[in-house]
Amino acid sequence: MTLAADRWMGRLIRFGGVGVVLAVFGMLAFLIFQVFPLFTGANVTAVGSLSVPANAVAFGEDEYGDFPYVVLADGKVVFQRAADGAKAHEWAPSLGALQVTAVRSYPRAGLVFLGLSDGSVQELQVAYRSTFDAAGKRAIEPVVTALAPVAIGKPGVPCLEVWNAKGSQSRLMVVRQADAGKPLLTAVRLTERKGLGGKARVTVSPPFVVAADAASIEKVLLPSTAESLIVVGKSGEVRTYADDGAAFAFLQSFVPFKDSKDPAVASAGLIFGNVSVVFVGRSGEQQVWSMYPQVQPDGKSLRRWGKIHDGEALAGAGEGVYAAEGNKCYLAVAGGKLQIRNMTTGSLRWEGDAPSGSIRQLAFAGNYDRFTALSADGKLHRWSIVDHHPESSWGAFFGKIWYEGASGPAYTWQSSAGSDEFEAKYSLVPLFYGTVKGTFYALLFALPIALTAAIYVSQFLRPEYRQVVKPVMEIMASLPSVVLGFLAGLWLAPLVDPRLISLFCAVGILAPAALFAGFLWSALPQPIRRQVKPGMEFLWLLPFLALCAFAAWKSGPAVEAAFFTVKDTASGLPIADFREWWRQTTGATYDSRNSLVVGFVMGFAVIPIVFTIAEDALSNVPNSLVSGSLALGASRWQTVWSVVVPTAISGIVSGIMIGFGRAIGETMIVVMATGNTAVMESNPFSGMRTLSANIAVELPEAAAGHTHYRALFLGACCLFLLTFVINTLAEVLRQRLRERYKVV
């Protein structure tokens, strides 16, 4: 019966052990499953092509792409059904003696602009109206509304190109003409105001000249904000203009490929957000320029254009750059290839063959699930896209990235903001840094206390007191971390903040005071020391340390006044304030909820674990070793340092590593006791954000399957692997120490 029970228990234990191992690897597999889609590229499939008139120069489509239309060179709009390519509707402008000399369409907005031979522009608004027949079947009917022409350019001079941009306050229309062989850019502003009856009234400003100093124009980029203008010259020089309220004033000029043999710009395109431009040279080289704060020669910081990325070279001269709507991806056409890249990370999302004819226009769908291209051979080509995580890459998560608006590359985690143009930043490096920083301060506070306390309790304290101290320390391990975080954030941090120097003085005096107390005790005559039983020396030590700490605490204001006096920025008077002294002297920030507070409170969560395991290991050292050492003439401390600690070192290392695991995975204390900001500062008086705290704070708000959601799982996977590797190394170290100091 006993043997049978033993066999079954052995099988049960093995089954449980295997189950635990499988559960651990199962969790890892689940994390990898959630993270894997982040590192897959875009899946692009050619849907097909429609035959359109050969003189089609622009196109547009409805929201679902069911009824695309093309605009012919004479301004005629032809609608076709995407299902079979059949013509569904046709509309022709009524212009009289005027001719259409330029066409530009904005497919997503349903707008078409016709530049006319007299320098004016006519706007066409394309809409789709739903109708239902007697059987209730839904049909879509396209409607084209032509507005009255707006006089913009020089009268009698044909428009060569036309652009439109709708800002928050007004709309800007720009035309390019050739005046005496020189390019001329003129514009008008259209402001819409609603009257008392709700009827909109459009006010057209008098035409004004923009970029009059441009000797040659290769390309014009008009941001959708309608507040600036970018002119690319034939020589490769790029000139930028900004709205100063009355006209467009020259802002800056630069040459993207000035170090190249041929500095000319082959193609360029604005990226979603309107503050970055991708330039492609005639040799296929790529550069990304963006607006960000730059220090000027006079010392002022102004937003100016500067290069932030050098992209991979394309297969040939750039033929077009077309930005996606809603993210930072763009499609570049060069050397017979189509490439979808992410502007921020530079990662290649997809590459495929371009259509046989040159591309006249290309546009992405608003939700980035398809794109359509009009080629010169009379084809409307369509592709579908599946790319759920265009902004993700190894570089985005672990590299230093130069984001839009930043003055340089940085490791940044910022997952949300209030604008649609916001560029999500998912660098895990600040979270790793915060995790290591918080763990360092926690162990810096906890390990000396826990290990010395374990040595004292196991080797010097009397057994009757040990039976009280050890259970109390074990009970401390059961304190909820949310309670410790609450105390740290709402009680300890405000309490310590104005008395920081007093606290430093009180803590700093403890070690010297303890050594001095030991010296005084050893200097006392033997008859006096014999009055105290061995192991009861703390009855002298504790009151002495308390008195010294109290005196140091009280001396804190005097120390602060002597060494940390600075001039108050508001009144100009000298004040004794360490916080202000730290800010003015180091230039670093000072937060009341900082790393020291976190380390102090996390230390209280780590101390009981390290103490309990280390004390058990020290207490289990055979008494024969201790007695033998003492019999050979070693003192009690020499025995502890040379015999007890080396023998128990494997258990001590285990305690340290388990405490390390508790600190590295702590969540609530970090969330409640710091500013929880993902910054990379060695400053001990600044906050931080750890991997575990970041997951706890943001996972409930992350949309399932989104890049943000999977990036949090990537952080969890990294935290899992980090603790796994550290624990494995700790176990290897423990085994080696055990073999080295084992008792034969």
Tens digit of each residue's pLDDT (9 = 90 or more) over 590-620: 888 888 888 888 888 899 999 999 999 898 8
pLDDT, residue 351, reads 94
Q: Are 458 and 619 in contact (CB under 8 A)?
A: yes
Average pLDDT over residues 403-425: 80
Which pLDDT belongs to residue 200? 61
Query: 509: which DSSP letter?
Result: T
Q: CB burial class (10 A; 0-12, 13-18, 19+) of residue 94?
A: exposed
**Class of the domain covering 429-498+593-741:** mainly alpha
**Cα–Cα dist 429/446, whole Å:** 25
Strands 150-151 and 120-132: antiparallel
Helix (H) or strand (E) run with residue 472 in it: helix 463-476
CA distance 551 to 559: 12
Is residue 725 packed enough to be buried (19+ CB in 10 Å), middle (13-18) or exposed (0-12)? exposed
Domain ranges of the chain: 54-149, 297-427, 429-498+593-741
Per-residue model confidence (pLDDT) at position 340 = 95
State the pLDDT at residue 270: 93
Reported confidence tier of residue 265, pLDDT bands at 50, 70, 90:
very high
For residue 503, pLDDT over 60 is answered with yes
Q: Which residues contact 542 (CB under 8 A, 6 or more apart)?
A: none
- Give the per-residue pLDDT at 730: 80
| Helix (H) or strand (E) run with residue 454 in it | helix 429-459
Residue 83 to residues 47, 87, 88, 641, Cα–Cα distance (Å): 11, 11, 11, 85
Tell me: pLDDT of 199 over 70.
Answer: no
Q: Which residue has the higher pLDDT, 571 or 594?
A: 594
Which pLDDT tens digit goes with each residue over 142-157?
Answer: 899 999 898 988 888 8
Helix axes 691-698, 707-741, angle to 10 degrees: 150
Locate the DSSP E strands across 531-585. Answer: 565-567, 574-576
263: exposed, middle or buried (Cβ count in 10 Å: 0-12, 13-18, 19+)? middle
What would the pLDDT profile of 324-358 be if each residue is shown by its tens digit? 988 899 999 998 899 999 999 989 999 999 988 88
Which has the closest alpha carbon to 712: 722, 700, 721, 723?
Answer: 700
In one-letter notation, the amino acid at residue 693 is A
Distance CA 725, CA 14 (A): 24
Report pTM: 0.86
Report pLDDT for 197: 57
Paired with 58 in beta bridges are: 71
